[in-house]
């Protein structure tokens, strides 16, 4: 079965309207309308939509002790804060999405159980993700969409998702990066992961859905994406 996967990367408030540090600029806010429109259409067509969201914490201080925090000392995506929530337009699209890797301690979405083991190690997460892509679950997963945690620029769960789809016999024809901030960091990191997980997929980056801290960084990142064989539209 040929599939198209549509990614939203860091559609959270901290990167758009609500960021104390990284609420980027008007360019970031302008990406929301076109990206949201494409995601709604993809969902209506029966394509798989996936939101990859930064999820740090539980405190700003703990984020600042990480390698990312030491190099980018701008706390963001701290769980439990308003800045870690999806922008309202995206919240509507992903309102009933399956949550992968838990977005709060009290939320139990996909239970990380595989072969009687309960943990969040690599193989257990892979089994859990694969379980929601099995034929009896795939229709529900596609209808609802996915929200996936990432604790750094690129999403390991995205790699597991693409690997599981291929192992289950799905040909991933296209991967669309519908929206994302920042173009030069998380968009590029997840583009590389998408290429790794689905090397024969056509990767399409929608430039009007992505933004960076300034136009020069955005344009440089788009040029870099072309070198990685992405199609820029």
- Residue 70's pLDDT is what? 95
pLDDT attached to residue 26: 84
Buried-exposed string 57-77: b where 16+ CB fall within 10 A, e elsewhere: beebeebeeeebbeebeebbb
Domain ranges of the chain: 2-232
pLDDT at 99 (0 to 100): 84
Exposed e or buried b for every residue in 196-219, given b needs 16+ CB within 10 A?
Answer: ebbeebebbbbbebbbbbeeeebe
Residue-wise pLDDT for 137-159, tens only, equals: 999 999 999 999 898 999 999 99
Q: Which two tokens stand for residue 4?
A: 């198209």
DSSP letter string over 115-151?
TTEE--SHHHHHHHHHHTTSHHHHHHHHHH-EEEEES
Task: Return the HEC string of 16-75.
Answer: CCCCCCCCCCHHHHHCHHHHHHHHHHHHHHCCEEEEEEECECCCHHHHHCCHHHHHCCCC
Tokens of 163: 């690997």
pLDDT for the residue 126:
85
Is 3.40.605.10 the CATH classification of the domain at 2-232? no
Cα–Cα separations (whole angstroms), residue 76 to 92, 111, 114: 22, 27, 32
pTM, two decimal places: 0.91
- pLDDT given for residue 101 in this prediction: 67
Contact criterion met (CB below 8 Å) for 154 and 141: no
State the pairing for strand pair 48-54/2-9. Answer: parallel
What's the pLDDT score for residue 23?
A: 56
Residues of the chain with pLDDT under 50: 102-117
Number of other residues whose CB lies within 10 A of the CB of residue 170 = 18
pLDDT for 115 equals 44
Cα(147)–Cα(193) distance, integer angstroms: 17
């Amino acid at each position: 079965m040929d599939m198209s996967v549509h990614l939203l990367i860091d559609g959270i408030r901290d990167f758009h309207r609500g960021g104390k540090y990284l609420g980027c600029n008007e360019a970031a806010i302008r990406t929301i309308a076109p990206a949201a429109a494409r995601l709604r259409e993809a969902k209506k067509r029966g394509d798989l939509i996936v939101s990859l969201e930064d999820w740090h914490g539980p405190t700003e201080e703990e984020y600042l002790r990480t390698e990312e925090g030491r190099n980018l000392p701008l706390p963001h995506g701290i769980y439990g804060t308003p800045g870690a929530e999806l922008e309202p337009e995206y919240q509507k699209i992903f309102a009933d999405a399956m949550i992968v890797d838990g977005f709060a301690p009290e939320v139990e979405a996909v239970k990380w159980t595989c072969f009687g083991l309960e943990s969040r190690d690599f193989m257990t997460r892979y089994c859990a993700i694969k379980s929601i892509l099995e034929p009896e679950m795939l229709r529900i997963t596609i209808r609802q969409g996915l929200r996936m945690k990432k604790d750094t620029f690129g999403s390991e769960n995205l790699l597991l998702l693409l690997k599981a789809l291929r192992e289950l016999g799905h040909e991933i024809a296209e991967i669309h990066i519908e929206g994302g901030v920042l173009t030069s960091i998380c968009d590029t990191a997840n583009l590389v992961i998408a290429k790794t997980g689905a090397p024969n997929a056509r990767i399409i980056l929608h430039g009007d859905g992505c933004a960076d801290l300034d136009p020069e960084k955005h344009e440089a990142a788009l040029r870099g994406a072309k070198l990685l064989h992405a199609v820029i539209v």
